[in-house]
Structure 1
Amino acid sequence: MAKFNQYAGVLFDLHGVIADSSQYHLQAWQQLADELGISWTQSLTEQVLGMNRQDAVTTILQAGQQLNRYTAAERVALADHKNQMYLKLISQLSPADVLPGIINFLNELKAQHYGIVLASASVNAPLEIKKMQLTDYFPLIVDPATLTHNKPDPEIYVRAAGLLNLSPTNCIGIEDSKTGLTAVNGAGALSVGVGAATEIATADVKFADTAELTLAGIQQQIEQQD
């Protein structure tokens, strides 16, 4: 079984772990659907969160039975248009959007000399980190544009560990979704899930809320499993 003292790096997802900016993504996707005359449904909400831009455009067009109306190039343009709407929405992001307990946890990691990396699938992650005034904590950010595969593939977490010159087995990965946790587990890192029990069932260590995240809390759950 894993020992707590083997961990030297902590790898963070962004949306749902550091900030809840998924609301802005949903608003932008809904605006796009409205422009296309496609009615928004709960099913679309559940599907597009966590998807990359192009897959989400395809899903929305399929829902409105409009996929055949657009060429591949036009679908790329729709994804870019959505991103411009999203960037307008997140211009209001501020330190107030950082989820409870995260600053304290980041300060604890820095004080204990843990390596910290952001492993987000969002190409806008550096901008969001800057707007929340967290840049000092995240000098290391994986560039998703350089990846061959998106989550749930483990590539992003393998790359994040590599930025610290560590093996993923010496890192802790923090996620809030099934997709993200599949990526962490696939990389061989210790998976910490934050959020609804159904979403984080596959995590090695589980917290209902970001406010509960502490090194002591992680250590306690690991040692209870021994």
Structure 2
Amino acid sequence: MIQTVIFDMDGVIVDTEPVHRYAYFQHFDELNIPVTEEMFTSFTGNSTRNVFQNLKNIFNLDHDVEDLIQRKRTIFNDAFDTKEDLELLEGVEKLIIDFHAKGMQLILASSASKVTIERVFGRFKLHNYFTHIVSGEDFPKSKPDPAIFVHAASLSIASKANCIVIEDSTNGVKAAKAAGIYCVGYNSIHSKMQDLSEADVIINHFSELDFEKVTAIQSKLGNN
């Protein structure tokens, strides 16, 4: 029986993507670098560190990666704190509460920084529902590298075969599958440019999931 659900955060629990996008492109303008939509989309699921390491190489930036990261985070934090309409994605809070009330272990595995995760979890009072929080900044490679999900699964109360991942990005789905974990692809309105085809199942709304449906997934896993 599935005993652990591993959640991504951005685009799954809360839509901070527009705030991240604003911060990134404000910073790109400051740096005077022509980041295209296609290039920006390819970074979805990457940590801020990896994004700027890639951009430093692509555009031969002289800036220190740490300075680039801090400037982007400053812009993000200022925007986050003033964005009054930032809400959890529709249906996810009910799902989290339902899972927790029925004894499902919840783990967060997000490419976001610890500071950003703490801001989201503090604002929406999510700490009590999750046993562990795993940030992508602790890993040298970002999704689609599976390390973050391998580590998250190692924190589970059960084996990896009794875990599932909920992801909304191409890189996130690839990471989950590379880690050997059943993946639910969340096809939100914010995932239009993402390829979720490698996910084991794709949902369009969190009303399509509940505790009973998730625990029933075990019968589909075979001998994973």
Tell me if both proteins adopt one fold, taking TM over 0.5 as the criterion.
Answer: yes
| Match status 1:87 vs 2:83 | no
Aligned-residue sequence identity (percent) comes to 26
CA distance in 2, matches of 1:105, 1:116: 11
Which residue number corresponds to residue 155 of structure 1? 147
| Match status 1:210 vs 2:206 | yes
Q: Which runs of 4+ in 1 moved over 6 A?
A: none
TM-score by length of 1: 0.82
Instruction: Provide Cα deviations, 1:9-41, integer angstroms capped at 9, x if missing partner.
Output: 111000111011111111111101111223453
State the structure with bigger RCO (CA 8 A, min sep 6), 1 or 2: 2
Of residues 100, 111, 114, the one that matches 1:110 is: 100
What is the DSSP-based 3-state SS (H/G/I as helix, E as strand, rest coil) of the residue aligned with 1:203?
coil
* Deviation of 1:59 (Å): 4.6
Change beyond 3 A, Cα 1:39–1:188: closer
Change beyond 3 A, Cα 1:160–1:79: same
Change beyond 3 A, Cα 1:93–1:211: farther
Contact 2:162 2:218 in 1 (8 A): no
Q: Which amino acid aligns with 2:20?
A: H
Q: Which amino acid aligns with 1:44?
A: M
Unaligned runs of 5+ in 1: 1-5
| Match status 1:101 vs 2:97 | no
CA distance in 2, matches of 1:170, 1:223: 11
Unaligned runs of 5+ in 2: none
CA distance in 2, matches of 1:146, 1:225: 30
TM-score by length of 2: 0.83
Which residue number corresponds to residue 186 of structure 1? 178
Bigger radius of gyration, 1 or 2?
A: 1
| Match status 1:13 vs 2:1 | no
CA distance in 2, matches of 1:178, 1:49: 8
Q: How many residues align?
A: 216
Q: Which moved more, 1:185-194 or 1:27-36?
A: 185-194
Of residues 118, 122, 130, the one that matches 1:138 is: 130
CA distance in 2, matches of 1:48, 1:185: 18
* Deviation of 1:61 (Å): 5.3
Instruction: Provide Cα deviations, 1:137-193, integer angstroms capped at 9, x if missing partner.
Output: 124201434334432222212221222332221111110112111221222222111
What is the DSSP-based 3-state SS (H/G/I as helix, E as strand, rest coil) of the residue aligned with 1:119?
strand
Q: Which amino acid aligns with 1:180?
A: G
